[in-house]
Amino acid sequence: MIKRPLYNTIILLLCILFVFYLIISYNYPGEDCYITFRYVENFIAGKGLVYNTGERVEGYSDFLWLMLLAFFRWLGFSPIIISRILGLVSTVLLLWVASYYSLKKKQRKIEWIYLATPLLIFFNPMLHYHHGRGLETSFYAFLFIWAAFSFKRRNYANSSIAFAAMALLRPEGFIYFWLVLPMLFMDIKYSRTEKFPYSLPLVRLRFFVPYLLIVGSFFIWRLSYYGRLFPNSVYAKTEPFNFLWNPSLHDLLQFIISWSYIPVFALLAVFTYHKEEWEIQRSLLIPMLLGGGVLFFTIAVGKVQAEPFQHYIPLIPIIILLLQEFLRAMKMRVDNNLPLIIGFFVIFQILNLYTSNNLDSPKTRLHSRTFQYLFSWNFPARISWYFDTMPSLLNGDAGKWCKQNLPPDSIIAADQIGQLGYYSGHRILDILGITDKEFASKGYSLELLLDRNPQADYLAILSFLGDKKPYIWEIRESFEKPAFTEKYQLRWILRPRNTYDKTEFLIYARRDLIPDAPPEPEIIKIGPNTAEWVSKMRV
């Protein structure tokens, strides 16, 4: 048993260590976050919540995150840096709140088994990876735990606000309030025989009013401003209920494998449910309902282009809580159970050492990254890197080249609109539809591209290094048709100077804009050379 003050001290020390561990781990933003950053810059510049000036399209899917970044941008801070810091704070708060989820409010003596939650969160590499990618992922996972923790403590007003924040943060966030609604009625049912802190009308008022007021107002504003109930990215990215060929199922399997099968063991908590008293059943039911909602949504929408396992990140603390409850229940029911529990953790670590995840193995295996960070030659530099804007990658360098070499009033059609759009400043036609309603609803087609009015002056398309063709098959196939080649010519190839990048950008131009262009494209080297890249490399 651990006394409460000692437990509090351990959690505080873990949180402090977690800050330093996150700083030296993954500290470079991804691609999609720059879409939000561009919305932030336009909003602060007085152009409205738009990607292209004058075009009201909700190409972001993280309204609350955007507002947080905009606030700090208004104060003068770079959204690139602030997004990493907010991700770090969110991940540390997640560890803090989750560490107290299973404890009673005034519990003085704590089983050592409850250290499983903070330790598993501390060492989870997927949380390390996503905290610094510039997206709302870590903040969203924290809101899950905050909502679950508040609801379990019967702080219905706080949980209502947390669920409302989830609805403002992610398009699917509104569903989780309704998933726990049956729990509220079960609380009311049990309140007739147990001591209850509030009158029933007050309970309903505290739970429903904040959520309905906040979320209702937000949806009314969204409908009036953008003309749609959901972000444009929802229509562009999802393939609803595509169960026959569903990459989400494959991603789920890889998620389980990459995490050394711990999610499978966490499911064993389900079998302990019926043997528990109502308060412990509540602590199991809440993460079960929320986790089930995450799984159903992710599988139902089908293929979603996202960072590795991004939509499963809220599941991580939920799975850890269920695993802890299973271990606690097992400890209560089996005498002298310590060797068996230790055996489970040994099994997890053996699986972790020898299981290879073929999608994102280096970023999700528990043991390898810690040693890589602590013993890497550039360990001291990592701390300072965290607080600079870092050199852009190829996409950003391509955007800077476009800003310097293409007319500022030209229109660029592109398949990578994050860093390229953020750094170029041009009006961007998103042919994959995230920030374009027409491509989102109809999908990409050459006819749609050529019939746009006004037409794209240039096209910036990602390609594999040396291939000289678009890497997305549908675009590659359409660009070989006479209707396209008669109108556009491959004019420049933006190739990285370093030997690490394996992609390049193809810049097509309308033939009437380059009447005297040579038949072969000009190859232009951009970005840092290999030596500079190595000296600044973020692994």
Tens digit of each residue's pLDDT (9 = 90 or more) over 198-239 = 667 777 888 999 999 999 999 999 999 999 988 988 777 665
Do 138 and 127 meet the contact criterion of CB atoms below 8 Å apart? Answer: yes
245: DSSP letter: S
pLDDT at 259 over 90: no
Task: Choose the weakest-confidence range: 102-111, 237-246, 366-375, 385-394.
Answer: 237-246
Can you state the angle between helices 137-152 and 315-333, rounded to 10 degrees?
40
Closest by CA position to 143, among listed 91, 67, 180: 91
- H-state helical runs in 79-124: 79-98, 116-122
Task: Choose the weakest-confidence range: 189-193, 405-409, 440-444, 499-503.
Answer: 189-193
pLDDT at 46 over 90: yes
Task: Choose the weakest-confidence range: 316-330, 336-350, 425-439.
Answer: 336-350
Percent of the chain with pLDDT over 70: 75
- H-state helical runs in 406-529: 419-424, 437-442, 446-450, 473-479, 482-485
> What is the distance of C-alpha 318 from the center of its chain?
16
Look at 523 and 194; give whichever has higher pLDDT: 523
pLDDT at 340 over 60: yes
Strands (E), 358-502: 411-414, 427-430, 458-464, 488-496
User: What's the predicted TM-score (pTM) here?
Assistant: 0.88
pLDDT at 52 over 50: yes
- Per-residue confidence band for 495, with pLDDT thresholds at 50, 70 and 90: very high
d(CA 133, CA 125): 13
d(CA 177, CA 353): 38
Can you state the angle between helices 137-152 and 156-169, rounded to 10 degrees?
160
Q: What is the pLDDT of residues 423-435, one digit of tens each?
A: 999 999 999 999 9
Percent of the chain with pLDDT over 90: 46
Q: Name the token pair of 14.
A: 């873990």
d(CA 346, CA 323): 15
pLDDT at 334 (0 to 100): 56
d(CA 279, CA 276): 8
Q: What is the mean pLDDT of residues 418-444?
A: 92
d(CA 150, CA 166): 14
**Cα distances (Å, whole numbers) of residue 168 to 9, 55, 222, 316:** 34, 21, 11, 21
Q: How many residues does the chain have?
A: 539
Strand 427-430 to 458-464 pairing: unpaired
Q: Name the token pair of 379.
A: 């360990």
- Per-residue confidence band for 535, with pLDDT thresholds at 50, 70 and 90: low
Look at 356 and 424; give whichever has higher pLDDT: 424
pLDDT at 379 over 70: no
pLDDT at 242 (0 to 100): 46
pLDDT at 175 (0 to 100): 93
455: DSSP letter: P
Query: Where is 262: in which H helix or E strand?
Result: helix 262-266
Look at 238 and 525; give whichever has higher pLDDT: 525
- Per-residue confidence band for 167, with pLDDT thresholds at 50, 70 and 90: very high
Of the ranges 46-50, 110-114, 322-326, the best mean pLDDT one:
46-50
Task: Choose the weakest-confidence range: 44-48, 187-191, 414-418.
Answer: 187-191
pLDDT at 183 (0 to 100): 84
Q: What are the residues whose beta carbons fall under 8 Å from the beta carbon of 104, sequence distance 6 or more? A: none
Radius of gyration of the chain (CA): 25
